[in-house]
Amino acid sequence: MSSVAAEVTPDRLEAYRRELTGYCYRMLGSSFEADDAVQETMLRAWQAADRFEGRSSVRSWLYKIATNICIDMLRGRQRRAMPVDFGPSSAPSETLLGAPHTEETWLTPISDSRVVPEHGDPAEIASLRDSVRLAFVAALQHLPARQRAALIMCEVLKIPAAEAAAMLGTSVASVNSALQRARATLGSGTLGSGTLGSAGPGPEAAPETADQVDGGLLGQYVDAFQRYDMSALVKLLHDDADMQMPPYSLWLTGAADIVRFMREPGPSECAGSRMVPAGLVNGVPAWGQYKPLPSGGYTAWALQVPEVSGGKLSRLTFFLDAERLFPAFGLALSLSGA
């Protein structure tokens, strides 16, 4: 093994896991697929360590491998999305809920702790958090894979176009062309301003970042939800707030319709739920919701990711695949009745 190749050690590779997970998550829209892609990247890099010649940095080499893996995974499949991307809002009736869609239809959430560095420049960390917001990751899925990769590399990760071109096996001119087309598709030339974070229905103001959100407002929301006080809850919502519940395609718009739906026979079974903090998820504070059981105790029900803009709640996203998601966020699948 050459002296350059000897630099490719398991510890050296592992140091890039967090940022590679963030890159693959933005590319694939799935936290579980991102894990698979990063694991395959590490495996391929380790297997090819003796052939690494140092013509690029280890980081660039890993991104090139990860990009090829993600592009292969994206071939011939539908894009992941959120319910608001699939059609108009529905009337607030449980009878319209329909059948759940399969897991590969939807974006899945991810913990900030897995994709955002613990330390560093606060502005850079805030920008990285903004770039894993659900609406932005959903917007990325509209782009062809190579445009998506170019945009993430150059706009999110601030990788120079020449380096991105080497990672993508193309020219600087091709990267710049891909960036122009990607920006045109997304309707914005820049990231980090929050413009793309507000894509989709709901208030036009950009969702507030984790350090901007009023903790008191979220505390009031958690309290109102645990008491299932719809009169208190409706006051915390924007009039044009929306609510979505993957894996169901039904979504609601308007504070009045949201609380009306929550009073429906099925959703009203959430009365008496307990909420457990789940840390930062896709850039915002989130909670695990545990629904009460008739026999006592509580069962995992939904990962709630509320978003705030303009001092009120603008979007409520309830990820209902609790059995798969809760362990990924360090949440138990049940709670005692104590």
Q: What is the pLDDT of residue 9?
A: 75
Considering the domain architecture, whether residues 166 and 19 belong to the same structural domain is answered as yes
pLDDT band of 338, cuts 50, 70, 90: low
Residue 48 is predicted with a pLDDT of: 81
Assess whether 221 and 287 both reside in one domain: yes
Say what the pTM is.
0.91
- Domain's final residue, options 168, 198, 228: 198
From 172, 198, 224, the end of a domain falls on: 198
Q: Does 273 reside within a domain?
A: yes
Let me know whether 143 and 56 are in one domain. Answer: yes
Q: Give the long-range contacts of residues 165-170, CB within 8 A, separation 24 or more.
A: 166/56, 166/60, 166/64, 167/60, 167/63, 167/64, 167/67, 168/64, 168/67, 169/64, 170/146
Distance CA 317, CA 48 (A): 42
Task: Tell me how many domains the chain contains.
Answer: 2
Whether the pLDDT of residue 124 is over 80: the answer is: yes
Tell whether 47 and 178 lie within a shared domain: yes
Give the model confidence (pLDDT) of 61-119 as tens digits: 999 999 999 999 999 888 999 999 989 999 999 999 999 999 899 999 999 999 999 88
**Residues in a beta bridge with 306:** 316
d(CA 172, CA 165): 5
What's the rounded mean pLDDT across residues 160-183? Answer: 95
Please indicate, yes or no, if residue 314 is contained in any of the structural domains: yes
Q: Are residues 220 and 192 in the same domain?
A: no
184 and 300, same structural domain?
A: no
Is 206 a domain residue?
no
Arithmetic mean of pLDDT over the chain: 89
Query: What's the number of CA atoms in the CB half-sphere (13 Å) around residue 270?
Result: 24
CATH number at residue 240: 3.10.450.50
- Distance of alpha carbon 29 from alpha carbon 46, whole angstroms: 26
Show which of 141, 165, 198 is a domain's final residue: 198
Please indicate, yes or no, whether residues 161 and 231 belong to a single structural domain of this protein: no
Q: What is the CA radius of gyration of the chain?
A: 21
Q: 266 is in which domain, residue-wise?
A: 215-335
CATH code at position 134? 1.20.140
Residues 224 and 306 grouped into a single domain:
yes
